[in-house]
Chain A
Amino acid sequence: MRYIFFCIFSFTLWMLWSGQYALHHPLVLAMGVLSCGFVVYLVSRLDIVDEEGIQIHLARHLFLYIPWLLWAIIKANIDVAKRILSPKLPIAPRIVRVRGTQKTDLCRVIFANSITLTPGTVSLDLDGEDIVVHALTEEAADDVQSGDMDRRATAMER
């Protein structure tokens, strides 16, 4: 059942990208069908269609989370850009541990990816509940350790 859904989904995407052209060329259309079938075959061999599936309820939370994340990214970008441009290079790199309170894998991935996406912090490793983070400055380390991003990522599970 999941594979049928995946098949329809990937073919819809393919039609969206190259549909206008393919409708007049049966050969191109056939190639699209073939490539979609091949991708589904590869995915079934890799066995990566997991039990979680697609979580519709997440979309509602992402609607609030993404604007906040974008604002965080903009602030962090300006800060790191200023530090790179200043002649004294005022950085203080350090390794810190951040507690990730997410239960599901998907929300953990979102949290770790958000940490990496904001310049100034890069998630390096998962260690049980903790995420090992390399921070460029003390402020960036304090920011990620304050747990604000963690709370917002965990809030998406409900």
Chain B
Amino acid sequence: MIIIDILSWICLILGSILCIIGGLGLLRLPDFYSRLHGGGITDSLGAGLILIGLMFQSGLTMVTVKLAMILIVLFITSPTSTHALGKAALISGLKPVVTDEHID
């Protein structure tokens, strides 16, 4: 029981730290396109670890199944919305800041 609690707290705390780093990335990174990557951290491993930590807390119940479904849906929808944001910016003509000029 105590081992599950420890695992759960490791996941929750790591996930929270990654969410904060993602938010920090949103503030620190220079332009719109690179800020999408900061959001990507929060989306993928940040939210994922928090959900896994919550699954450890709820044990083998229906709640765990629902949390797993949320995780699966999140892993499909979050890249889709990130892509939609990026594509909308690309279509409206926002030029990304690039350091390498020779590609394309």
Contacts and interface: CB of A to CB of B under 8 A. Distances in A.
A81 B36 contact: no
Contact of A117 (B38, B40, B90, B98): B40
B55 interface: no
A64 to B, nearest CB: 17
B99 A77 contact: no
B41 A81 contact: yes
Given A80-B40, A122-B86, A134 B33 contact: yes
A80 B25 contact: yes
Nearest to A124: B86
A17 B79 CA distance: 25
A73 B104 CA distance: 27
Given A120-B37, A123-B83, A17 B100 contact: no
A84 B80 contact: no
The contact size tier of chain A is 35 or more
The contact size tier of chain B is 35 or more
Mostly helix, strand, loop or mixed at chain B's interface?
helix
Contacts of B103: 94-96
A116 B83 contact: yes
Contact of A113 (B25, B30, B80, B86): B80
A62 to B, nearest CB: 11
A140 B18 CA distance: 19
A117 B96 CA distance: 20
Interface stretch (A24-32, A85-93, A99-107): A85-93
29 contacts: A17-B66, A73-B44, A74-B45, A77-B41, A77-B45, A80-B41, A81-B18, A84-B21, A84-B24, A91-B29, A94-B100, A97-B104, A113-B76, A113-B79, A116-B79, A116-B80, A116-B82, A117-B40, A117-B44, A118-B44, A122-B33, A122-B36, A122-B40, A123-B83, A124-B86, A125-B90, A134-B36, A134-B86, A136-B37
Given A93-B30, A95-B96, A116-B80, 13 more contacts: A16-B65, A80-B40, A84-B24, A85-B21, A117-B44, A117-B75, A117-B78, A117-B79, A118-B44, A119-B41, A122-B36, A125-B87, A138-B100
Identify the 5 closest CB pairs spanning chains A and B, nearest first: A116-B79, A119-B40, A84-B25, A77-B45, A92-B99
Interface of A: 16-17, 20, 73-74, 77, 80-81, 84-85, 89, 91-97, 112-125, 132, 134, 136, 138
